[in-house]
Amino acid sequence: QVQLVESGGGLVQPGGSLRLSCVFSGNIFSIYTLGWYRQAPGKQRELVAAITGGGGTNYAESVKGRFTISRDSTKNTVYLQMNSLKPEDTAVYYCNLHVIISDYWGQGTQVTVSS
């Protein structure tokens, strides 16, 4: 059983920063990809950023240059550093672990960008 637990969300003013963390645990024996997704009210869940087992990254166009995904394998943790936040970044952010044909999700953490 794989579990993921996010933390770090909250309320921040436009232009501010937040760092999300996701700790995962469980029996993972294959190479996996870690990602952050978000879902705003009335919208579909979308990929924000992902990092592969080899360290390769990709980002949604809307967050390039502002968000950075990283991982600490010694702590089984993936981070999302979010800078220059905008109101349109407001959403529930979900951590995802993808291995072979399986996807595992955290419970989500709310990020609200508002003055």
Consecutive 10-residue runs of the chain (115 residues): their mean pLDDT? 94 98 85 94 96 94 98 92 98 95 94 97
pLDDT at residue number 15: 98
Question: Which value, to the nearest 10 degrees, does the dihedral of the CA atoms of residues 28, 58, 22, 110 take?
Answer: -140
End-to-end CA distance of the chain: 40
pLDDT for res 86: 98
